[in-house]
Each structure stands twice: as C-alpha cells, then as structure tokens.
Structure 1
Amino acid sequence: MNAEQTIAILDVDGTLFPGALGVELLRELMRARACDQPSGERVLEILAGHRSGTIEFSSMASRAYQAFAEAIAGHECEVIEAHARAVWATQRERLFEFVPALISGLRARGYTIMLISGSPIEMVRLVADELQISDAYGAVFTRQLGRYTGTIDLSSGVPGEKARIFAAATEGRPVSAQRCFAIGDSVTDAALFERVGFPLAFEPAPELSIIAHARGWTTATQANVLAQTRALLDSPASCPPPNLRD
C-alpha cells in the first residue's frame, strides 16, 4: 500500500515574486510589438479597474484573460515563448529572498512542491525550472498549428480554479489533503486553502485578508514567513478538508 503523499502548493505572483509575471510578459510583448496593442492595453485597463475598485475580482480575472488571449491571437507560440524567456532573464533575481529557504525547508519535511499560478504557463514553467519543480500549472491559451487561437484552455487565476487544478493534478494519487500546505496572497487561493490542512495567507490582498480572518488562517509577511511556516507545520492540522473532488 502506497504511503500518502504530502504536497506544498505555492502561488507565484505576489507570493514568490513581487508582482505579476503575466503582466511583465504582456509589457514585453507590447514593447516589442509582438501582440495586438489595443488588446494589450485593454488588459492593463481591466487590471487598473480592479485596483481602483470599479471591477470586482472574478470579472477582472475573466475579462483580463480574454483580452490577453486576443492580444496574442495569431502569433507564433515560439515567438511568445522566446519573449517569456527574455522576461524571466531580467526578472528572475526579483524572487523574494526567502524563496530558496522556504522550498528547501518544505522538501526537508518530505513535501512535494507544486506551483499553481494565475500567470501564463509560459512564465510559470520558467519559474518551476529555476526552482527545480516538476509540477507547475498556469493559465493556458489555446494553441493550434504553432499559433495561439485567441481562446483559453485554462483560466487558472479565476477564483475556484486552483482548487480544481489541484484536484485534477492529484487524481489517483494517494495524497493526504489534511497534511498538505498551501501559500498564496489573493482570493484565488481561498478555495484551495479550504481543501488543505495547512493554509498560509502571505501578505494577503484585502479580499483574502477578510476570509483569512474569518477562517482563522495563519498569515505571514516577508519578515516572518519562514517562522510562520515552521510553526504552522508543527501545529495540528486544521479540520479535515472536504473531498478534493467537491
């Protein structure tokens, strides 16, 4: 009988990295005129609308993904991937200083690391490779014959999607959800937090902060995230989460 696995699910944007890698990629594509400029501008306008409080999170996420898909529609996948590599080459040093210690500490406890991010998989995969993580999930824009079609296969940053991604990724695996750990900073992480025994809200955005306070979830900052992670994992797990397939 296989021993149950424990998985640590890490968000990227705002958690491991101070910003949004998908936005960094979009800005590079716009600078290089490697995407549809009006669609790219629309993505930035939608994000600004959320920051100003005029667009709620779920609507912002769905609309931004659609505009991003339209921005790269018809463009060669290899070209976009090359720009993603160029972006990562300049952004990789911006990972928070605590990241290597966080990951090594989780691995020392026997955790398998998994990245689930709202940024495009073209960027998330580069982060995963940098950190030697094999399981990585991000937004997926539909491809056909080497080009993007303008549609979306996976909107990983829409609330609820991360929990579904985790459920699908662990289908058939002997995973102990009650011993799993998850860290993130936005409301997109809330549904996933509900399904693991050790949720950690990292410098949570207002929407997540409200939920974290109501649920009694541990919070952390850059200054104490390593200590908070150790304390959380040394404590009894929270109540058994619901079935991962729910």
Structure 2
Amino acid sequence: MSLAIFDLDNTLLSIDSDHAWGEFLLEQGAVDPVAYREANDRFLADYEAGTLDIHAFLEVALRPLAENSPEQLAAWHQQFMASKIEPHILAKGEELLARHRTRGDTLLIVTATNRFITGPIAERLGVDDLIAVEPEIVDGRYTGRVSGTPSYREGKVVRLEAWLADKEHTLDDAWFYSDSHNDLALLELVAYPVAVDPDPSLREVAEARGWRIISLRD
C-alpha cells in the first residue's frame, strides 16, 4: 500500500478554489467590491508567478472568516460547493482517485488553500486525509490568523513530514500529482512525481527530468 498525494487546485479541480471562494464572496456582497477583487486577482497572479507572499495573502483571505458567524459561513459554503466547486470537479481526477483507492493506497490532499474551503471538498472527493492551511479558531470562531506553518511551497514539505511522523508511510513509494511549479520542493522528494496539466515552468522541469506528464481535462 502506497501513499498517493494530490494537489487540489487546477489538479483535481479545474479551478483555483481559493480564488473561486473570493469570487463567491464578492457575489454575496460580503467583501469590498473593489479592493477585495483587486487583491484576489493580484494574489492569484502572484501565486502563478511564484512570487506570492503567503502571509500577506492569508491576512486578506482569512479576514472574512473572522468577520462572519460560523452559521453564515456554513450556509455560504453549501452554496459555494454547489455553484463553484461541483461543476469543476474533474471526472478524470475522480477516476484517478478511484484507481489508487482500488489499489489500497492512502489518499492525501496537500493544498495551500485553507481547511475551511477545502475540508468539504476533500470529503466530497472521498480522500482519506487533508493537509491545508489551518485558520486559527478560538472559542468556536475564526480569528483571521493562521495556525502553524502554511502548507505552501516548502511549507508543504514541512507539514507533510510532520504528518508522516506517526504514519507507516514514507515518500520512497509515494506519488504526488500537481499542476504547479510552486510544488517542485515536494515533487522532488517523492518516488513518483506526476505533472498534471502543468504550468509552463513545471512542464519544462518535468520534461527535462523525465517525469510523467498527464492531463485530467476532458
């Protein structure tokens, strides 16, 4: 039994769920329509360029969680799943998960998107476990701050190594599927790195190193 690790955004989904959540909040009138849209789009561009300041991003991205009640957030997330996520779950991604599941592999999503957004998505996909950015919760409410190391770039490696500490799995027989050059640090550590509909930077590295390249798009 191996460990099958998956990035989420633009890998198992055809969109970036963090950016989509920002768009959803804008549609609900829950955030400033000018400043938040500008920041949401700018941070996505920074991520794609590999220049994202993760802490500056999280300061903006986690604020709406602190400004709204758990009940409101839960209601919004149900709508978000139906309107923004379900249409963008890739059928071939689900087939890939099913193949690993049938083999008896442990399925793990490692994402730089926060757990509030991604927890229900991982559950919908039937994935065993999730490593995500952890928004801090105090007395049942989000504070707007992050707890621990954000699972972004090298932070994914840090968080994964902590997760592996009490598991039987190692990376010597692990798969990792990702679309992004931001995940190179983790791709380089696993036995079976797979570039999934890769961005140009990752495609170049994958081709140079002979990594497998696949598409999950229809």
Which bracket does the TM-score occupy, shorter chain normalised?
Answer: 0.7 to 0.9
Q: Which has the higher contact order (CA 8 A, sep 6+)?
A: 2
Compared with structure 1, are the counterparts of its residues 198 and 138 closer, same or farther at alpha carbon in structure 2 (3 Å cutoff)? same
Q: What displacement does 1:14 show?
A: 0.3
> What is the CA deviation profile of residues 125-157 of structure 1, one whole-angstrom value per residue up to 9, with x for unaligned ones?
11221122230122222222333222222532x
Q: What displacement does 1:120 show?
A: 2.1
Query: Quick one: distance in 2 between partners of 1:34 and 1:143?
Result: 20
Match of 1:114 in 2: 108
Q: What displacement does 1:75 show?
A: 2.5
Match of 2:29 in 1: 33
Residues 46 and 63 in structure 1, CA contact (< 8 A), matched pair in contact too: no
Q: What displacement does 1:60 show?
A: 4.8
Query: Quick one: distance in 1 between partners of 2:217 and 2:72?
Result: 38
What are the equivalent positions in structure 2 for 1:33-52 lying under 5 Å apart?
A: 33-35=29-31, 40-47=36-43, 49-50=45-46
Residues 18 and 96 in structure 1, CA contact (< 8 A), matched pair in contact too: yes
Residues 193 and 211 in structure 2, CA contact (< 8 A), matched pair in contact too: yes
Match of 1:240 in 2: none
Query: Quick one: distance in 2 between partners of 1:71 and 1:42?
Result: 16
Q: TM-score, normalised by structure 2?
A: 0.86
Compared with structure 1, are the counterparts of its residues 110 and 48 closer, same or farther at alpha carbon in structure 2 (3 Å cutoff)? closer
* Aligned partner letter, 1:169: W
Quick one: which of 180, 196, 200 aligns to 1:186?
180
Residues 12 and 94 in structure 2, CA contact (< 8 A), matched pair in contact too: no
Q: What displacement does 1:94 show?
A: 2.1
What are the equivalent positions in structure 2 for 1:132-147 lying under 5 Å apart?
A: 132-147=126-141
**Is the partner of 2:90 in helix, strand or coil?**
coil
Quick one: which of 74, 81, 85 aligns to 2:74?
81
Compared with structure 1, are the counterparts of its residues 69 and 39 closer, same or farther at alpha carbon in structure 2 (3 Å cutoff)? farther
Structure 1: where are the runs of 5+ without partners? 225-246
Query: Quick one: distance in 1 between partners of 2:38 and 2:140?
Result: 25
Q: What displacement does 1:182 show?
A: 0.8
Q: Is 1:18–2:11 an aligned residue pair?
A: no
Structure 2: where are the runs of 5+ without partners? none
Compared with structure 1, are the counterparts of its residues 48 and 129 closer, same or farther at alpha carbon in structure 2 (3 Å cutoff)? closer
Q: What displacement does 1:103 show?
A: 1.2
Match of 1:66 in 2: 59
> What is the CA deviation profile of residues 144-183 of structure 1, one whole-angstrom value per residue up to 9, with x for unaligned ones?
2333222222532x21122222211111222132211110
| RMSD of equivalent CA atoms | 2.5
Q: Is 1:155–2:189 an aligned residue pair?
A: no
Q: What displacement does 1:199 show?
A: 0.7
Higher mean C-alpha displacement, 193-202 vs 95-104: 95-104
Q: What displacement does 1:79 show?
A: 2.1
Compared with structure 1, are the counterparts of its residues 113 and 41 closer, same or farther at alpha carbon in structure 2 (3 Å cutoff)? same
Compared with structure 1, are the counterparts of its residues 183 and 48 closer, same or farther at alpha carbon in structure 2 (3 Å cutoff)? closer
Residues 58 and 145 in structure 2, CA contact (< 8 A), matched pair in contact too: no
Q: What displacement does 1:10 show?
A: 0.9
* Percent of aligned positions that are identical: 21
- Give the paired residue count: 216
Q: TM-score, normalised by structure 1?
A: 0.77
What are the equivalent positions in structure 2 for 1:165-244 lying under 5 Å apart?
A: 165-222=159-216
Residues 36 and 71 in structure 1, CA contact (< 8 A), matched pair in contact too: no
